[in-house]
């Protein structure tokens, strides 16, 4: 690399292809522990969003239906109102994230007590934004009507997480693929059931951000809807993401402690990253860029890092998105952690 300094620290988005939270915590700590301020449990039980299908399907006034696309039923089910049911009569149950977080925290605590995980690393609880769940899980005909109650349910779930995990041991991350993709124009022909303007998106995220108290670090995973490093779309550059991150940092009613954003391997890094010259974050807000990719290896990853370093004064490294077991093996995950260790400096902690 042509620069004299390396990125500071690393971030793991959420999903991680291991057998259990204990396996996730042990493996991450062994290979990249000093680089991380927080660790997810790998979402081995919550599976981020797919479990929400099963939870919402149990609500009496809802049912599973095939989604209709271009007038034809698709094989992807969606949750929708039963015939004659009213959205205002629907109340969503516990969403499951807090229950899993409580179990994962106990495992993390035991590993800390045994000296196998650094004492100051926090449990990272990743939550999908309410609008993302509404767009992915709820049938488009009912999404707008059911969105307010799901948002209330998620705010209730945040309160349960805060009760389950000590605040000084916790960080909360919001995953916002629907919002990010909407700002990029969305899929061709897709009808998103919400206002896709930046102002409306920031307003929606402000409401859920308010549920997280200031003594719990909070951040956002700005996501291009990536699955196995295949993106819903790849914009020419990151101008819309930069604009959104600037507004989140400036306008939310509480601090944004970290932001994660992708740098797709198929994008030209200099062109894609050029808008980051306009990024304006508070000094305390950490930025993690998804520059690490085992598909094209160390040299290409270094080129993405160099492109970012020519524009930004500092950042940490990450992958573009979570590392789902459908697409990545255990060996892949360890190779990614080893790339983190080869590319980044440990985070200085007090």
pLDDT in tens, 269-282: 999 999 999 999 99
326 falls in which pLDDT band (50, 70, 90)? confident
What share of the chain has pLDDT > 70, as a percent? 92
Confidence check: pLDDT of 200 > 70: yes
Q: In 165-223, which residue ranges form alpha helices assigned H by DSSP?
A: 177-183, 198-209
> What's the CA angle centered on 151, arms 149 and 153, to 5 degrees?
70
The predicted model gives 215-238 an average pLDDT of 87
Question: Which residue from 180, 225, 209, 171 is spatially nearest to 49, judged by alpha carbons?
Answer: 225
Who wins on pLDDT, 324 or 95? 95
Q: Residue 233's pLDDT band (boundaries 50, 70, 90)? A: confident
Question: What does the alpha-carbon distance between residue 282 and residue 230 come to, in Å, rounded to a whole number?
Answer: 31
Average pLDDT of span 320-331: 88
What does pTM read for this prediction?
0.91
Mean pLDDT of the chain: 89
CA dihedral 6, 250, 234, 72 (to 10 degrees): 140
- What gap in Å lies between CA 87 and CA 220, rounded to an integer? 29
Phi and psi for 132 in degrees, rounded to 5?
-65, -45
Whether residue 258 contacts residue 174, with contact meaning beta carbons closer than 8 Å, is answered with: no
Query: Residue range 332-346: average pLDDT?
Result: 93
**229 near 290, Cβ under 8 Å?**
no
Structure-block tokens of residue 105: 């925290």
Range in 132-141, 156-165, 334-343 the model is least confident about:
132-141
To which H or E segment does residue 37 belong? none
Which residues are paired to 289 by β-bridges?
261, 317
| Beta-carbon count within 10 A of 71 CB | 5
Tens of pLDDT, residues 300-319: 999 999 999 999 989 999 99
What strands, in cross-sheet order, belong to the sheet with 122-128?
A: 38-39, 122-128, 170-175, 218-221, 258-262, 286-290, 316-318
Q: Among 126, 122, 142, which residue's Cα sits nearest to residue 134?
A: 142
Among residues 35, 82, 27, the alpha carbon closest in space to that of 56 is found at 82
pLDDT reading at 73 higher than 80: no
Determine contact, residues 37/122, Cβ cutoff 8 Å.
yes
Report the chain's C-alpha Rg in angstroms. 20
User: Per-residue pLDDT tens for 5-38?
Assistant: 889 999 999 889 998 999 999 999 999 999 999 9
Residue pair 41/100 in contact by the 8 Å Cβ criterion: yes
Residues 281/329, Cβ–Cβ less than 8 Å = no
- Average pLDDT of span 153-180: 96
Provide the sign of the torsion angle of the four alpha carbons 224, 182, 248, 270, taken in this order. Answer: positive
* Overall average pLDDT of the 158-180 stretch: 96
pLDDT at 209 over 90: yes
Diameter of the chain measured on Cα atoms:
66
From the list 251, 53, 92, 254, the residue with the least C-alpha distance to 172 is: 254
The Cα–Cα gap between 113 and 107 comes to: 10
What's the pLDDT score for residue 70? 42
In the predicted model, is pLDDT for residue 3 greater than 80? Answer: no
> Could you tell me the pLDDT band of residue 220, with boundaries at 50, 70 and 90?
very high
Please answer whether residues 282 and 310 qualify as being in contact, where contact means their C-beta atoms are separated by less than 8 angstroms. Answer: no
Helix (H) or strand (E) holding 143: helix 143-164
Determine the pLDDT at residue 2.
Answer: 42
SS3 state of residue 25: helix
Per 3-state DSSP, what percentage of the chain is helix, strand, and coil (rounded to 5)? 40, 15, 45
């Amino acid at each position: 690399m042509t620069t004299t300094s390396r990125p500071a620290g690393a971030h793991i988005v959420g999903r991680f292809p291991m057998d259990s939270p204990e396996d996730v915590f042990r493996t991450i700590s062994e290979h990249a522990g000093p680089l991380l301020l927080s660790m997810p449990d790998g979402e081995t039980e919550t599976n981020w969003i797919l479990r929400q299908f099963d939870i919402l399907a149990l609500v009496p006034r809802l049912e599973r239906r095939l989604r209709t696309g271009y007038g034809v039923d698709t094989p992807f089910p969606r949750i929708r109102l039963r015939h004659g049911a009213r959205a205002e009569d629907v109340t969503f149950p516990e969403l499951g994230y807090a229950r899993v977080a409580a179990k994962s925290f106990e495992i993390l605590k035991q590993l800390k007590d045994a000296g196998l995980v650094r004492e100051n690393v926090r449990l990272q609880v990743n939550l999908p934004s309410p609008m993302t769940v509404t767009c992915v899980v709820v049938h488009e005909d009912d999404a707008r009507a059911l969105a307010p109650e799901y948002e209330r349910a998620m705010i209730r779930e945040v309160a349960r997480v805060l009760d389950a995990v000590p605040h000084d041991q916790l960080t909360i991350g919001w995953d916002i693929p629907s919002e990010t993709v909407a700002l990029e124009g969305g899929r061709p022909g897709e009808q998103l059931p919400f206002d896709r303007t930046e102002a409306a998106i920031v307003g929606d995220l402000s409401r859920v951000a308010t549920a997280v108290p200031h003594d719990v670090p909070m951040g956002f995973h700005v996501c291009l809807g990536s699955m196995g490093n295949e993106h819903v779309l790849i914009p020419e550059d990151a101008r819309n993401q930069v604009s959104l991150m600037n507004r989140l940092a400036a306008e939310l009613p509480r601090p944004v402690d970290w932001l994660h954003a992708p740098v797709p391997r198929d994008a030209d890094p200099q062109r894609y990253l050029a808008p980051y010259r306009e990024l304006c974050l508070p000094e305390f807000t950490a930025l993690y860029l998804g520059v690490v990719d085992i598909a094209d290896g160390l040299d290409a990853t270094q080129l993405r890092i160099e492109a970012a370093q020519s524009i930004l004064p500092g950042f940490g490294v990450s992958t573009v998105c979570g590392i789902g077991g459908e697409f990545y093996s255990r060996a892949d995950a360890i190779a990614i952690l080893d790339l983190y260790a080869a590319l980044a400096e440990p985070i200085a902690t007090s």
